Amino acid sequence: MLAQASLWPNIEKPFFEDLTWLNQTCGPWDFIMFSGDLVQKGDPREFVKLNDTLKRLYEHLNSLGSDPVLLVVPGNHDLKRPASSDTLQRLQRFHEDKSVSTEFWDDRGSPLRQLIKTSFAPFVKWHKNHQFQKPRQFQQGILPGDFSATIEKGDIRVGFVGLNSTFLQLTDGDYTGKLALSTRQLISVCGEHFTDWFDRHTVCFLMTHHPPSWLASNSRAALHNDIALPGRFVTHLCGHMHEALQEASFTGGDLEARRVWQGRALFGLEFYGDSQQFERHHGYSSGVLDINNEAALVRVWPRQAVKLQSGKWRFLEDRFATLEPDFGTAPEKVSSRYEQDRIIPTEQQKYEILLLATDQDLGNARKIVAEHLRRSLGVTVSETHQLKDHKYDLAVLVQAWWWDEGNCAHAWESCDAPKAAFIIDEDAEWPPRKLVEFHADNAVREFRSSIPEARFFKNPAHLPELIGKAVTKLMHAHSGDLDIGLRDWERSYLESRLPAWRSGRTAKSRPHLFDAEQLDELYEPDLYVPMHGVSLDWEGGADGYPRKKKKKSRQRNTESLPTVEGAKRVSLAKWLAVPQIPRLALVGAPGGGKTIFLTRIAAALAHSCLGRHLDFEPELDVERLRYNSSLPIPIVLEA
């Protein structure tokens, strides 16, 4: 991006104008796919510049009514080329020496894999931290840039598989027919039974940087026979060659096509190659997928930038493609797993956590934390220190002053997973003396000093919130799904509102007669009386929750106005937890307690979202309000 800084401004304006014109035909857009080479040399400064460029692009797309998800695989210009080393020389014998490729795929701690990790570190950091729209369901793979993702729109689920095809292109030279792809990359992002993953999606796309011709023969066979079977993907999107090409092939009488769409570079230098003699063709394509019970049809509008005699750039239809009068390709039928009346099961959360703590002092707290993580994040939590070679996504240790011969600590250290430790603050008043193992004090202190980035707690009651917050951030980084748990701004919002809600006030209202800010809890159990409500169409059921009244036949000329006299009253908190009642209007006399009830409910939900102990509104069944592991966040609107 730094090298082409003088070129891009001349391209950007006509590009935005072309998007505005094209938006009338095939917009708005749901996702953007970049097949790599977003920068020139993998320099961190280039990725900063890339963010500026993408920010301007998104601002323009937002003005057109689009906020598309950004999907990217790395290209050979997105990596930081490593210095010459023995490891690099070994990796260059990837295809000639079977021991090299075996070590590369089998040993994730191999220097070969570490070299790849280091080379792509600036790209990975950018991809993790960029602020543009990300897919809610995202799974990273074994190589930097490998991923699977899902985008949902109504009852349609679009799947994306991105595979790093450039990890061997670490130096100058012609790599045609020398690069690699492996089925292991597909398994790492879609699971061992990856066909199930495809069956859960209506249509899918494959993304790599390089076209198939740049792969070695064994990798082309893996792509052809294992990864991109006919009909599995709408198309295989790639780039690298800076020439547009769309191909569809049918093999062995199979009626489903295998497609490859090779796109031009939107970003890049005006010339490329060592001699700078070849002009690059800038361009992009826009597409539409029309999916219904009858068929799934795809159309593409290929665009290319043309430099006029005046020196200005203009985007026009691709003059090398066969196009319809609206400058798009003819509708093409693609394979689809769409049935309007079929509910496609959602993907199960695969995140598994090992949670360790000694039973004597922290056993009960561990159980509370585990339950909070399971309910609020939808994760699997194991509480045993007998690992049995099981693979975890995260190992969490909670340690106070009870040692128990170090069983939990040693299990945590030996677990092959990212780690987080929460240890008791030395100045904390907890635990009592009976929960301190004094003869093991030296062992505990030595272990504490060996933890590089420990987090501290003062009381076990704080652990659900502390651990939930830390695990949520780690899951956001791991999956890219920011809808898991609470985002930082949601957490800050709830924390800022809680004092007012707990004291019976909304954000703007003033305390009545006394300063409620000075009270820890306004509503003591002996002061607050839970309120009840009645409805014309609902009544209390045997379980204490509202149920719809059965309609009674009315005799002619005896019809009277409905009344709630004699209706069975139901606690207001229980009205909130009935799925068949999506909205409630609370009607009552001034001073009747409506605001107090609503703020107490808001406080109860905020406490549960944050992982704090719920010490009031016992009749509010919070778990009945949970949907896909999430709780509603209370928002107070005031005129």
Q: HSE of 362 in the Cβ direction (CA atoms, 13 Å)? A: 31
- Tell me which CATH code domain 352-477 carries: 3.40.50.10140
Q: How many CB atoms lie within 10 A of CB 190?
A: 21
Report d(CA 607, CA 609) in Å as an integer. Answer: 6
Specify the pLDDT at position 563.
58
Compute CA distances 227 → 220, 375, 461, 462, whole Å: 10, 36, 49, 47
511 token code pair: 């305390």
Query: What pLDDT is attached to residue 266?
Result: 74
476 Cβ contact partners less than 8 Å away, ≥ 6 residues apart: 482, 484, 485
Is residue 461 within 8 A of residue 613, CB to CB? The reply is yes
Per-run averaged pLDDT (10 residues), the chain, 639 residues: 60 92 90 90 91 93 92 93 93 93 91 94 93 91 94 89 95 91 93 90 94 93 92 89 76 79 69 49 86 80 89 87 88 75 45 90 91 84 75 90 91 88 92 90 92 90 91 78 79 85 66 45 59 82 78 52 64 80 82 81 85 74 71 74
Range list for CATH 3.60.21 in the chain: 8-80+120-287
In CATH, what class is 8-80+120-287?
alpha beta
Give the pairing type, strands 296-307 and 332-334: antiparallel
Residue 3: the pLDDT is: 46
**Residue 344 identity:** I
Residues 453/488, Cβ–Cβ less than 8 Å? no
φ and ψ at residue 634, rounded to 5 degrees: -70, 135
Dihedral of the alpha carbons of 481, 483, 488, 493, in degrees to the nearest 10: 170
pLDDT of residue 475: 81
DSSP codes of every residue in 156-225: EEEEEEE----TT--SSS--TTTB---HHHHHHHH-TTHHHHHHTSSEEEEE-SS-GGGB-HHHHHHIII
Q: Rounded CA gap, 211 and 224, in Å?
A: 12
How far is the C-alpha of 483 from the C-alpha of 104, rounded, in Å? 34
Q: How far apart are CA 371 and CA 620, in angstroms?
A: 18
pLDDT at 293: 64
Structure confidence at residue 512 (pLDDT): 42
- Tell me, yes or no, if the pTM score tops 0.75: no
φ and ψ of 105, to 5 deg: -80, -30
* Per-residue pLDDT at 515: 47
Question: What per-residue confidence (pLDDT) applies to 514?
Answer: 41
625 neighbors 631 (Cβ within 8 angstroms) = yes
Q: Which amino acid is at 300?
A: V
Residues in the chain: 639
Residue with tokens 């406080």: 603
* pLDDT score for 2: 44
- Yes or no: say if 80 and 169 are a contact pair by the CB < 8 Å rule: no
Smallest Cα–Cα separation from 474: which of 394, 399, 548? 394
Domain with CATH 3.40.50.10140 in the chain: 352-477
pLDDT for position 416: 85
C-alpha distances (whole Å) from 385 to each of 351, 411, 626 are 18, 6, 30
**H helix intervals, 27-165:** 44-63, 86-91, 98-106, 111-119, 121-129
- In this prediction, residue 548 carries a pLDDT of 81
In angstroms, the Cα distances linking 313 to 16, 243, 316, 320, 513 are: 12, 18, 10, 18, 70
- Nearest one of 421, 424, 403, 423 to 413, comparing CA atoms: 421
Write out the two tokens for 93.
């014998």
pLDDT of residue 346: 47
